[in-house]
Chain A
């Protein structure tokens, strides 16, 4: 791979644009202005979400609440495209039905929601109907958001209207017929929009109910973690029992001790939500952004409440799992020792909060091995937060391991150190490699020595 070569300037004259500078004339001895003289006004998305709202601001309490709820709803993960401003939309959501671009929800009156009334906003959040009365696609997770209280909806809109107006219109959705007919969403709603407003369970604690409100409402955890039917609606009675999206598996969040959170303590769940890592696991894939833009920015009390609720979710039925092929296990063990032990160590215990231990790991034991295959082929990076800024990253092994080798080491990992899960086939690895566009090596800016 040959790349462009530096082309230097052959001759260097006095080309510096000194004259263009107002400050060039200052002589020494003059008092120079203190620094910063050129402060930066831009903020990062996290800085945006955490920007303090002064108590003296009119309506401060509602705005602060609204900002907090925007974090809890993880609005930024979907309503921000690469390089775009937070909440200005344009992020391509890849669904099985086509690509949907997220809306601009900044205060811009023309392209955003600056002109929306609280009623209009509530209708969108509760019923999936926009300000023009048209149906929104359930890519906006209104089946969950309808559990949000009216007061919370109002607070979010009040806050969103204080955000800087960004004039930006996202591209039109790319949906094939018949999914491009918005009207059909009405039938979808009739068939699948079963959720009701949030009703507290008086038999449970206030904390449990707070957790339920966040998990099943704003947090819309089931959006990824609940399996979907062929029309993208939740499969009934399988809440949080693992879903598949965008070449990832969102793992089981039920009390299943093998594939879910059954072995985790409430504190471990809460720590994971805070820093994207705990002694058992690291949050990769889409969950990394959830950590960075949402759960790391919530209160300890709310994270704890979410954990308390999650720990009570009933597990699904356990499938029968056959014993893995001994030859595949032997090959997998060899690959593991040579390629994986560098971080996860020979005995699989890893280094807590850095490199997850692989035994009794939920992600690795999901019925669908896509998540594990994805991590091995493409790598995975944990979510970051100001408290834990290191974006620990599993490297890509796509260049190094064949499909069969990925399958064998996956089978080995899924059946060692107490793990038990179905064997992995090289065919599934092959198709994921193709989906991830990793059939050819994806080089880096550093790869200047390829032939």
Chain B
């Protein structure tokens, strides 16, 4: 039996970063807003308090804050000719759930994409020729939105989080100490950069000697106490080394809990329901308008929630799946290249270099999620790709997010994974080593996509999402090229030795890489090539918006959250200034 509830103006499906951002914006515009979150409530002092937040086993390895795949997972394969099988345990990416979701257990790495990243196709085509964007069956596209359009919204997110960093380009003026390659910023970061510990400092010195342009990673781990425009307070990070996969116990990491919820939860026109999973978006008979959503709660009760607007603010994989399950937009067919929903799924291309010293105590346990010195010299189109045979790039960061010993003991080349030799290498190297992260772009490819699995179903009886993905030669070439640059920096540090962990072979679901899944509900300037317009409004059903990194037509060489948030603010601005006055398509098809 389905119970029909009282209608609301907007229903948010999922309550992480994008749900909280959109919820706040719509509630401030006077709309009645209901957020449906399939996980539980969680907050700083009760659920990730300093007394137990620093628990590597429970959070990293037992997935305590992550999506439980027992009842709902996805199936994976590398290519069309394979049979997809379920991801039976989280590995390659660690999906969020619960209030705040990934915004609770992210690292706080806050980036803006480069201006040229938003014109991946046209920019590279113009500079390197048509072949550059079509080799390897790439299906890269322009975003339909520009950096300049998003800049005010990136700025809003920085002010929300209190981002700690140093501008490299203020209104076109290059600033010493910042990233000289970044797009022009209207404002300096709200708080100064974090103080760099030993490892990142050594990285920065070596990179500068080589003529690169090191700068402190912009962080949502705050360098000093901050009060944001909503009045919410954040503290100063104490470098505990438990950001990534962990909630912050002392209010020093930007999250929906620390930046938005104190303000939003106090509003009478906002309601949050937890343990409520949306099964599908319901459409009108002509399928051109959403009437609301159907959801089931953890007691097994099913409800229809009527709403004037449906905001898909779940993670990219759930948003795409809900679009497919609800019949919004035409599913992508990799054989014909037709259709859009599920198209251009992409990821992040990661590799690393570990450096080992005899004479330097790195103390890796003094860390923070975004504590790094970075060079951006080989990211995006910050360097000449002529003759290199790939597009895209990566940043290289001498990064110390922490020294959690189950995960983060580095041992030199050739040391086995167990036995006496491993043990002695662990004891010898733990305090005297750290890692560079080579964080690369991932271009979209004709065969990489998302659709519904024909075999496997979740606990609700719905088809699981099927992910078909592998890295292309473009990504391997890019990664090798930038990894070689990182090796040069490693050598310049004069370590005792170093170890290179290249991006080789096919993508595997098992080892953790990064939770930067993108695409599948991509944005663009016309309904033939994209699912949503530049305001994240679905072309087919104008009162449905799909937020998040699903909108990325391909993934840039940066962590996605900054851009995810900027796109959400960009959409919210248009909704609150234009859409609510005359609900309908915001861009003519």
Contacts and interface: CB of A to CB of B under 8 A. Distances in A.
Q: Do A and B bind each other?
A: yes
Contacts of B524: none
Interface stretch (B196-204, B304-312, B357-365, B389-397): B304-312
Contacts of A6: 71, 277, 296, 298, 300, 459
The 6 closest A-B pairs by CB, nearest first: A395-B49, A393-B45, A342-B50, A8-B460, A7-B300, A28-B288
Nearest to B288: A28
Interface stretch (B120-128, B141-149, B224-232, B564-572): B224-232
B40 A446 contact: yes
Interface stretch (B2-10, B76-84, B379-387, B426-434): B2-10
Contact of B9 (A18, A31, A36, A351): A36
A6 B300 CA distance: 6
Interface stretch (A250-258, A316-324, A382-390): A382-390
B542 A343 contact: no
Contact of A44 (B44, B240, B268, B306): B268
A194 B58 CA distance: 60
A35 to B, nearest CB: 4
- Give the size category of B's interface with A: 35 or more
B62 A343 contact: no
Interface stretch (A19-27, A109-117, A179-187): A19-27
18 contacts: A6-B277, A7-B300, A15-B294, A16-B304, A21-B291, A25-B285, A26-B284, A32-B584, A35-B308, A39-B269, A342-B249, A352-B225, A393-B43, A444-B40, A444-B47, A445-B42, A449-B62, A449-B64
Contacts of A326: none
B568 to A, nearest CB: 18
B7 A23 contact: yes
Mostly helix, strand, loop or mixed at chain B's interface?
loop
B32 A34 contact: no
Interface residues of A, number: 67
A351 B2 contact: no
Given A8-B71, A12-B462, A395-B51, A389 B231 contact: yes
B582 interface: yes
B51 A400 contact: yes
Contacts of A32: 308, 543, 582-584
A4 interface: yes
Contacts, number: 213
A28 B282 contact: no
A388 B284 contact: no
Interface in B8-32: 8-10, 29-32
B225 to A, nearest CB: 5
Interface string B245-284: 0000111000000100011001111000011010100101
Contact of A34 (B4, B263, B306, B581): B581
Nearest to A340: B50
B71 A445 contact: no
A2 interface: no
B299 interface: yes
Nearest to B45: A393
Interface in A307-356: 339, 341-343, 345, 351-355
A43 interface: yes
Contact of B458 (A7, A8, A25, A391): A8
